[in-house]
Amino acid sequence: MKILGLTGGMGMGKSTVASMLRRAGVAVFDADATVHALQAPGGAALPRIAQLVPQAVTAGRLDRAVLRQAVLTHPALLKKLEAIMHPLVRHARTEFLRRSRLQGAACVVLDIPLLFETGADRLCRRVAVVSAPPWVQRRRVAHRRNMPPPQARRLIACQMRDARRVQKADTVIRTGLSMKETERQVRRFIRSLRA
Ligand SMILES: CC(C)(COP(=O)(O)OP(=O)(O)OC[C@H]1O[C@@H](n2cnc3c(N)ncnc32)[C@H](O)[C@@H]1O)[C@@H](O)C(=O)NCCC(=O)NCCS
Ligand SMILES: Nc1ncnc2c1ncn2[C@@H]1O[C@H](COP(=O)(O)OP(=O)(O)OP(=O)(O)O)[C@@H](O)[C@H]1O
């Protein structure tokens, strides 16, 4: 089974490209969705987050804006949050790969924002990085109403720089142009996977 990595900074178009891949029938592991599920009511991460940042959890429910503000104000907290989340995400990823192998999938995608930072790229035969010019990224992130621009910029600064990711990529999917152009690059990427 071929394992492909998909990564990129916030707002670079990773989720958009992941949906295109899913529509083409490729199974995609979504690390962000996994994080959200683990942090949802009843999620495995919630009791530990409540210990770490008590004000972020009320009546078994996580207030993501409070948690985001807390980890950005105290960077050491982000490291502690990652130490809670990453082993759980790794476990979910292993399960996804096991299930995909059992189902006889020829090719799967790991969509992980911190793919390089967590070393998950080492599992991948090839890695595609989504990239767009910095002003396009800033404009897209600013459009996310649930995250004020200064916070978004600080979260971007926690990640590897785009140029470094592009350097490490086997394929770069440029998303700064039209959606049609992104689709064309994704189709070409899928053809190269199936070749
Ligand atoms: C920081 C948190 C609370 C912010 O939550 P919020 O709902 O505001 O944003 P959301 O989860 O949708 O993330 C938005 C984007 O931020 C980026 N991001 C998320 N976590 C991190 C991180 N630890 N470091 C750098 N960037 C991150 C990703 O590109 C993500 O797509 C949340 O993302 C979180 O719990 N992060 C820690 C877990 C983690 O490391 N996730 C990355 C999985 S590889
Ligand atoms: N040519 C394009 N290719 C991809 N996305 C585009 C393009 N033009 C505009 N967009 C828009 O840019 C946004 C990209 O957001 P998307 O959620 O895919 O990024 P992301 O990398 O997953 O971000 P985040 O990590 O912040 O969740 C979407 O709203 C999408 O509609």
pLDDT of residue 10: 92
Which of 7, 10, 15 has the most ligand 2 atoms within 8 A of CB, as the residue to mutate? 15
pLDDT of residue 145: 60
What CA–CA distances, in Å, run from 162 to 11, 56, 70, 131, 136? 12, 31, 25, 7, 13
pLDDT of residue 154: 82
pLDDT of residue 152: 80
pLDDT of residue 43: 96
Annotated binding-site residues read 11-16
Please count the structural domains in the chain. Answer: 1
Nearest ligand atom owner, CA of 175: 2
Helices in the chain by DSSP H: which ranges? 14-23, 31-39, 46-52, 64-73, 75-102, 134-143, 149-158, 162-168, 179-194
pLDDT of residue 75: 86
29: containing domain:
2-194
Q: What is the mean pLDDT of the chain?
A: 94
pLDDT of residue 127: 96
CATH code, domain carrying 169: 3.40.50.300
Segments of the chain scoring below 50 in pLDDT: none
Does the beta carbon of 165 sit less than 6 angstroms from any atom of ligand 2?
A: no
